[in-house]
Structure 1
């Protein structure tokens, strides 16, 4: 399926990390999990300029340290190896040794230098990787039955209920350029990079420093604007690889079509971020909070994230309760400058607060609206021109059930 969201920018809803030229991906079951796929990889035909952003949790897992070290050598990687089921976090020197060995095993299998491999893990914290199983899995990774992008997308999942992928295509310098992405994330999701992994590939020729700047800029508007439960993970990262196979002139901020590339990267990242938010553990609804009329973009971001993070707001939406007082309360404790007498709030198309005072609205109509799969909250501060949007989900009984027995 293909749709146009902006002029000459096409979204391929069935696109993925191998939509761009020069990439392949795969996955298999190596035995970390009982039955499900648990080892996945992406490989580029050639070393690709690479940029990454990482969780702000101070207990960063061993794979993050190894991956950052790999990229730092020459700002390129050629392959990514991911395991799910065990996070390799809080595992000390042995965990770091295992992450290095994981990198070496895959580099040797591909016949490339160690620093051209990025590694990442997701799953249970405080458990060492079963390295013999991973070694056996890597040895089988080149078998044709394992080389399939859908298998990669499944191999990186933990408590997710579905795979998450997307691709966009557009033209740069008259050349067709693609950006594809895959992600995982369902719980322990909170702004500032948390419990999620996202892998983005492109065949565009992009200068590394510009790619890094673009990723940071886009992350602040997308991945850092989602929350499920307020918990920031130890393992999460976003990696972007650009292998140049599209043969366009090198892209940087001075290229006349730079904004087109930046917009496409943002679209991919926003779609993946929203898929993660919608797949929150136990979630039944995607919740979008738009704050406009703010004095600054930073204020708009903080207020929108405060609302979407409120457990009282999230539970009200789960119960289809149009309790706008919880939204106003969250705005008030966001620690951002507001004028209460100017604040207006709407639940989708239904205004519920105007200039700080309640409006009459039909409760049954509002309840019907809140039962939709996607719920929008719009806040107008009427103080400036800045705006921001955050995404999250409702908070349900199933979230408690899932996380009460995650380890056992």
Structure 2
């Protein structure tokens, strides 16, 4: 984890992805879903530098493969996203359909299809209803509007229960710069950039190389630190366009201006990532797992993620059962170095174990620790300087119901 060497003041704009200068958005129902919005478009009035990161799943959906090609070119002018259908495991026809979407949208917008970054989310293994999608592309371009980001944010939702968006303003060389974003995700959430969609825009003038480096670092400390159920998706990505309309001198080295932007990017991506966990399918608890003084950074990550993904830990959190043994057991099988007689464990600041021995024994006090909506679990291993945080949620009856009925 890198600490930014400069401080930056943010102004929360209570907005989203099209608060940014020069970006328009729209969201409609084109017929993939029966009633809800299912097609989103974010458009920059000028070409923009593009950066992106993608799922690490070896099974990648058609739009992910196309998005990877566009990311290598490094420029884009639009995001087109559909929900309700993942266009994953759909073979050559699915790949052709994803290209057809870009070509159709390019014609409507009057731009090259290679400037369009596509994404899909929803059910795997079904072909897109292309007649509905192409008709929707004609409609959505007519609805582009500076305030259209909110409709776009709703159009990317699947099992989400609420839209997730944020925008902040900050200064670079006396000029106001805006960074906005939106994300979707509720289930199939696991670190390693694999279970959600995130889109960001900024009017900052920054080189493509530094934009990519900043996004990669910000994602590693946000979207790669969340887990709901340990499942990695076939589709998901985070992408950002920077169109330079703020008018600042281009950022092409890692000086103060770069780190101001990086701080803003981390602020927005962390918020969007944590909102995904808070909206986890059937979730009733938001949980932070922090591991400090591990032997190595890798150990800290492994231990934090093992605890966060433990079904026994997650069900205990849901039942408000203070079974700290499940936490210690998960740490023990994580692969990270553990010495029980040096381990301290606390929940919400209350020490449960000191040097591996139980400190708190009162059952009512133990249960009260979990009777909150937000829970912080902290392990101090006293072995080194490695530290890591992961955000997760509990596992409830509702999660099983939602996923048992998802396809039908």
Structure 1 pair 267–84 and aligned structure 2 pair: CA distance change class (3 A): same
The answer on whether the counterparts of 2:26 and 2:143 sit within 8 Å (CA) in structure 1 is no
Question: What CA RMSD, in Å, does the superposition of the two structures yield over aligned residues?
Answer: 1.5
How many angstroms apart in 1 are the aligned matches of 2:282 and 2:125? 24
User: Which position in structure 2 is the counterpart of 1:80?
Assistant: 79
1:338 and 2:338 correspond: yes
The answer on whether the counterparts of 2:226 and 2:392 sit within 8 Å (CA) in structure 1 is yes
User: Which position in structure 1 is the counterpart of 2:322?
Assistant: 322
Q: Give SS of 2:165's match.
A: strand
Structure 1 pair 64–386 and aligned structure 2 pair: CA distance change class (3 A): same
Structure 1 pair 174–367 and aligned structure 2 pair: CA distance change class (3 A): same
How many angstroms apart in 1 are the aligned matches of 2:361 and 2:175? 52
The answer on whether the counterparts of 1:222 and 1:266 sit within 8 Å (CA) in structure 2 is yes
The answer on whether the counterparts of 2:24 and 2:144 sit within 8 Å (CA) in structure 1 is no
How many angstroms apart in 1 are the aligned matches of 2:69 and 2:9? 35
Structure 1 pair 149–251 and aligned structure 2 pair: CA distance change class (3 A): same
Q: Return the offset for 1:243.
A: 0.8
Alignment of 1:1-400 (within 5 A): 8-12=8-12, 14-73=14-73, 75-144=74-143, 148-400=148-400
Q: Return the offset for 1:361.
A: 4.0
TM-score (norm 2): 0.95
Q: Return the offset for 1:7.
A: 5.2
Structure 2 gaps of 5+ residues are 1-5
Q: Give SS of 1:112's match.
A: coil
Q: Return the offset for 1:300.
A: 1.5
Q: Return the offset for 1:382.
A: 1.2
Structure 1 gaps of 5+ residues are 1-5
User: Which position in structure 2 is the counterpart of 1:3?
Assistant: none
User: Which position in structure 1 is the counterpart of 2:3?
Assistant: none
Q: Give SS of 2:273's match.
A: helix
Q: Give SS of 2:21's match.
A: coil
How many angstroms apart in 2 are the aligned matches of 1:11 and 1:227? 29
Q: Which moved more, 1:36-45 or 1:351-360?
A: 351-360
The answer on whether the counterparts of 1:347 and 1:366 sit within 8 Å (CA) in structure 2 is no
Q: Which moved more, 1:197-206 or 1:246-255?
A: 246-255
Q: 1:313-366 CA deviation, whole Å, 9 max, x = no partner? A: 111111111111111011101101222211111111211011111112433233
The answer on whether the counterparts of 1:300 and 1:388 sit within 8 Å (CA) in structure 2 is yes
Aligned residues: 402
Structure 1 pair 231–13 and aligned structure 2 pair: CA distance change class (3 A): farther
How many angstroms apart in 2 are the aligned matches of 1:365 and 1:254? 49
Q: 1:227-251 CA deviation, whole Å, 9 max, x = no partner? A: 1111100000000111111111222
